[in-house]
Chains A and B, each alone.
Chain A
Amino acid sequence: MELATSRDIRKYSVATRQRLSKYLEGIEAPPLFYVALFWDVVALDRMTPDGVTVDPLLPELPFPRAMAGGIKTQYFRPIRSGDYLVAQRTLTDLYEKEGKSGPLCFYEVTLDVKDDYGAPVLVERTTRILR
């Protein structure tokens, strides 16, 4: 379970140059704050040479480098300071495609975020690319 603190919301809001006062004052979280809240925190010696970690949901794959992908998120309510939130991540797709400079691996992870009463907060489907 993760706690959305006013301080972390303010740090995210400053880092992304938000302009709405509800975000800058740490009252309500910007829509993509959950990316920070649920980014996997792992030991530095578990990171690959490019400074990231292999998603523990993935099997061993011959694609050493991560690239950005995309997301689709459904929101049920905003995250607010003081929210305790639970996230469940599920690997929901995995496939290979031929890119311009060789094979690419695509995978989809569904992130299901609920509050501590079990009410839905958001559902995100992320597609990421490995090469």
Chain B
Amino acid sequence: MARIETIQVGDGLPAEDHTPTILDLFFYNAAIWNGHRIHFDEKYTTQEEGYRGIVIQGPLQGDWMSQCVMGWLGEEGTLVEFEYSNRSAAYLGDTLHVGGRVTAVDTSSGEVSVDLFVRNTAGDVIAPGAARVRVG
């Protein structure tokens, strides 16, 4: 678990690659009750909507960023504020790189701010995010 005394601006959060399968996309849709066809119907997605493949859910990428923070904080950490936006589509088969970096440390309140990102294999940030956390 992260300790406030040891955290410094510029520290990197543990990064992780995600290569979701069609099962990941199915179970995520099922868990949130999402029937959006661009996440499971390839013919519809490519022929009707013009995407190049099945689209990875935007909120799932947001969840990966929240996991990047919560995994770094550990079981006792608290999320105070979290944000992200989806800027470009990602597709089934893509490997997405999720990570972050500390941008501010307030030892008096125990709060730490981080920037987060989801990058595609080309290195483009397709979903930027940020969080403010309270370190346990």
A residues near B (Cβ < 8 Å) are 8, 11-12, 14-22, 30-32, 35-36, 39, 41, 44, 47, 49-52, 65-75, 78, 127
A15-B24, A31-B82 given; A65·B49 CB < 8 A: yes
Q: Does B58 contact A (CB under 8 A)?
A: yes
Q: Across the A-B interface, how many residue pairs have beta carbons closer than 8 Å?
A: 105
**What is the distance, in angstroms, from B64's C-beta to the closest C-beta of chain A?**
8
Known: A50-B36, A51-B37, A68-B58. A22 touches B75 (CB 8 A): yes
The one of B27, B32, B62, B84 that contacts A39, using a Cβ cutoff of 8 Å: B32
CB distance from B14 to the nearest CB of A (A): 11
A15, B22: Cα distance in complex, Å: 12
Q: Which residue of A lies closest to B73 (CB)?
A: A20
With A15-B30, A16-B63, A17-B24 as contacts: A47 and B35 at CB distance below 8 Å = yes
Determine the distance from Cα of A47 to Cα of B36 in the docked complex, in whole angstroms. 9
Query: Does B103 lie at the interface of the complex (its beta carbon under 8 Å from any beta carbon of A)?
Result: no
Contact B81 A19 (CB under 8 A): no
Chain B, range 20-49, C-beta contacts under 8 Å to A: 24, 27-28, 30-38, 41, 44, 48-49
